[in-house]
């Protein structure tokens, strides 16, 4: 059983999560970090069915659901016990219009009878203030308005308004359409608008996917991961969110419930890198604009996480109006990690920008001010590489000199040396190379446990950390280096749980971690492949693909005993892991053909 068997639709402005019956159970409006107008995924405390957008088929028997090929358009077919069936098509419009991207705050739903005379009941029950407030409802001749504290929503439809307002069953005799968006009139036929937007949106995504440089094997998995990563970007600013949800616990009743609807600098680097590897470089260009604005505002000291419009303060609070996923609260809004020190962020920004200086398809990046701005961050990395921080796993109760953070600071200096050489600044190249070499030497001395022949989580500490598996991909050590071989061996002995990997074992602020962390399993797969153990890596990768939900999506965490998904959803880290592992392990097109 997988309770996170959810589909995702979106358009880089808004998104929605749909369950197997096409009930919209989560959708933040009017943007990715906004109030969840549909919030039943986190069980509103008022037990009156609020927070859902549902098409109920009377005498429901079973459902089928799939994505329209190479798009985020979801089609769900509901069957009743009498042989009647209805197909529900859901999408958020996205296409080019008047020479620019059109991605309105709009969810379009089309109901089409497939067999017989299906009887439907519609429930459209948005809420405000995280499930605490019901809307004032008004209506006109073809629309219903939901007046909420944060936004006024309008549903324009050719379905009987009385049937919607009174939630009475009706027989579906032909296609019907519902357009949910802001309180703006739709002058044309709602059916015509829905059909045109469907065609344009389908064509947009088919064209975008055709431009991806995908591996030969596991193509469908890679395409679905790439589309999902794009849906986790906020086009207006270029921000990349870590996930679309808040407070889905990392493990049952663990209290590890966090709000992931924000832009982590580290996570964004991994997303940018994965999409770049497929040739989708516009995400990088947009993200660099975002991080430029953030860093100019922040000076030379970066936070680990910002709001999607660049807000620096994300005060964390608990909302009592939502009981939590499967009743497992608390539900948190905001994230106190913005107050933490995480020194790896400087490396993450430089790494995100590096391809910009080497890719001839992109705009000329050789302006001195671009490089000089990165140098300011490099200087901070050089100052902080041996200073304590909260680390990649955002420990709330301790600070150490975390090895991963130090390696990312090294990476900032290493890449600045390479960028300087690329743009002909030889003196700056020598300067950054000297710094990188010195940092590398210190890390290898202070993070190395000679007795156990492994790098450890932090300088002078015995614990192990799965993030050290990325050392070869970051270029810190070659995969064949005996020190990496020893680290890989120690990590798999200490952190492997069946076919999955824990991020660490040592107790933290909430006790010992219970579930595997999906990106760590993918890092392990990548490390095995780099170490020449490709057959093992392929087997574990196939197993991870089998752990995806029925739509090909992954959350943050996984119960290694049952395979059930946990944690916020869909998790960009996990979708990145699919892309990177497939690219590393796939046969080449030349070999396959």
**H helix or E strand, kind and range, residue 17:** strand 15-18
Convert 169-207 into a string of H (helix), E (strand) and C (coil).
CEECCCCEEEEEEECCCCCCCHHHHHHHHHHHHHHHHHH
- Report the pLDDT averaged over residues 448-452: 97
- Report the pLDDT averaged over residues 10-29: 98
Residue 540 confidence (pLDDT) above 80? yes
Q: Which residues pair with 35 in a beta bridge?
A: 29
Euclidean distance between CA atoms 332 and 543, whole angstroms: 32
User: What pLDDT, on a 0 to 100 scale, did the predictor assign at position 3?
Assistant: 82
List, for residues 181-236, the tens digit of each pLDDT value. 999 999 999 999 999 999 999 999 999 999 999 999 999 999 999 999 999 999 99
In the predicted model, what is the mean pLDDT of the chain?
96
User: What pLDDT, on a 0 to 100 scale, did the predictor assign at position 299?
Assistant: 77
562 phi/psi in degrees, rounded to 5 = -105, -20
User: What pLDDT, on a 0 to 100 scale, did the predictor assign at position 398?
Assistant: 86
Comparing 167 with 397, which gets the higher pLDDT? 167
Please give the full DSSP string across 458-510, using - where no structure is assigned. BTT-----GGGGGHHHHTSS-TT-HHHHHHHHHHHHHHEETTEE-S--S-BTT
Burial class (CB in 10 A: 0-12, 13-18, 19+), 341: middle
The pTM (predicted TM-score) of the whole model is 0.97
Q: 1 pLDDT band (50/70/90 cuts)?
A: very low
Please give the full DSSP string across 38-98, using - where no structure is assigned. E-GGG-BSS-SS-SEEEEEETTEEEEEEEE-TTSS-EEEEEEETTS-EEEEEEE---EEET
Domains and CATH numbers, the chain: 9-184+201-208 (no CATH), 211-592 (1.50.10.10)
List, for residues 482-525, the tens digit of each pLDDT value. 999 999 999 999 999 999 999 999 888 788 889 999 999 999 99
Q: Are 358 and 352 in contact (CB under 8 A)?
A: no
Closest CA to 374 of 344, 348, 338, 404: 348
Per cent of the chain over pLDDT 70 is 99
User: Strand runs (DSSP E) across 320-472, as ranges?
Assistant: 331-333, 448-449, 454-455
Q: What is the DSSP secondary structure assignment for residue 325, as one 8-state letter?
A: B
Q: Are 127 and 112 in contact (CB under 8 A)?
A: no
Residue 349 confidence (pLDDT) above 80? yes
**Which range (108-112, 289-293, 332-336, 359-363) has the least confidence?**
359-363
Comparing 14 with 508, which gets the higher pLDDT? 14
User: What pLDDT, on a 0 to 100 scale, did the predictor assign at position 506?
Assistant: 84
User: What pLDDT, on a 0 to 100 scale, did the predictor assign at position 507?
Assistant: 82
Q: 370 pLDDT band (50/70/90 cuts)?
A: confident
């Amino acid at each position: 059983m997988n309770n996170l068997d959810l589909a995702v639709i979106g358009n880089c402005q808004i998104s929605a999560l749909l369950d197997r019956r096409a009930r919209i159970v989560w959708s933040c409006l009017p943007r990715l970090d906004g109030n969840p107008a549909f919030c039943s995924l986190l069980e509103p405390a008022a037990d009156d069915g609020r927070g859902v957008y549902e098409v109920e088929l009377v005498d429901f028997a079973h459902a089928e659901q799939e994505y329209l090929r190479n798009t985020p358009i979801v089609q769900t077919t509901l069957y009743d016990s009498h042989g009647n069936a209805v197909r529900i098509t859901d999408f958020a419009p996205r296409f080019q219009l008047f020479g620019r991207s059109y991605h309105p705050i709009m969810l379009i739903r089309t109901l089409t009878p497939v067999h017989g005379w299906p009887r439907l009941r519609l429930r459209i029950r948005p809420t405000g203030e995280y499930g605490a407030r019901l809307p004032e409802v008004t209506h006109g001749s073809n629309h219903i308005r939901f007046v909420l504290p944060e936004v006024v929503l309008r549903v324009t439809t050719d379905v009987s308004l009385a049937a919607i307002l009174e939630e009475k069953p009706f027989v579906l005799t032909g296609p019907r359409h519902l357009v949910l968006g802001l309180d703006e009139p739709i002058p044309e036929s709602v059916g015509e608008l829905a059909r045109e937007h469907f065609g344009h949106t389908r064509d947009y995504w088919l064209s975008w996917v055709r431009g991806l440089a995908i591996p030969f094997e596991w193509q469908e998995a890679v395409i679905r991961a790439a589309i999902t990563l794009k849906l986790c970007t906020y086009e207006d600013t270029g921000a990349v969110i870590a996930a679309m949800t808040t407070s889905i616990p990392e493990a049952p009743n663990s209290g590890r419930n966090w709000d992931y609807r924000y832009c982590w600098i580290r996570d964004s680097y991994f997303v940018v890198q994965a999409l770049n590897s497929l040739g989708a470089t516009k995400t990088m260009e947009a993200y660099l604009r975002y991080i430029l604005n953030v860093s100019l505002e922040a000076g030379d000291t970066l936070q680990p996480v910002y709001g999607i419009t660049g807000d620096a303060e994300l005060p964390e609070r608990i909302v009592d109006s939502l009981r939590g996923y499967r009743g497992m609260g608390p539900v948190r809004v905001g994230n106190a990690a913005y107050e933490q020190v995480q020194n790896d962020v400087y490396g993450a920004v430089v790494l995100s920008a590096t391809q910009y200086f080497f890719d001839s398809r992109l705009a000329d990046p050789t302006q001195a001010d671009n490089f000089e701005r990165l140098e300011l961050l490099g200087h901070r990395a050089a100052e902080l590489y041996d200073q304590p921080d909260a680390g990649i796993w955002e420990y709330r109760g301790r600070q150490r000199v975390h090895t991963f953070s130090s390696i990312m600071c090294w990476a900032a200096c290493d890449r600045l040396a390479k960028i300087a050489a690329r743009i002909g600044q030889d003196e700056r190249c020598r300067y950054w190379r000297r710094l990188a070499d010195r940092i590398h030497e210190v890390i290898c001395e202070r993070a190395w446990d000679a007795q156990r022949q492994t790098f450890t989580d932090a300088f002078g500490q015995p614990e192990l950390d799965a993030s050290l598996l990325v050392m070869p991909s970051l270029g810190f050590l070659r995969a064949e280096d005996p020190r990496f071989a020893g680290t890989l061996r120690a990590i798999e002995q200490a952190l492997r749980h069946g076919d999955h990997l824990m991020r660490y074992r040592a107790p933290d602020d909430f006790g010992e971690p219970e579930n595997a962390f999906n990106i760590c399993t993918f890092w392990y797969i990548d490390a095995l492949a780099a170490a020449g153990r490709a057959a093992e890596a392929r087997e574990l990768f196939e197993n991870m693909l089998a752990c995806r939900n029925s739509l090909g999506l992954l959350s943050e965490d996984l119960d290694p005993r049952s395979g059930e998904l946990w944690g916020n959803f869909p998790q960009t880290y996990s979708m990145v892991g699919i892309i990177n592992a497939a690219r590393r392990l796939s046969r080449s097109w030349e070999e396959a053909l």
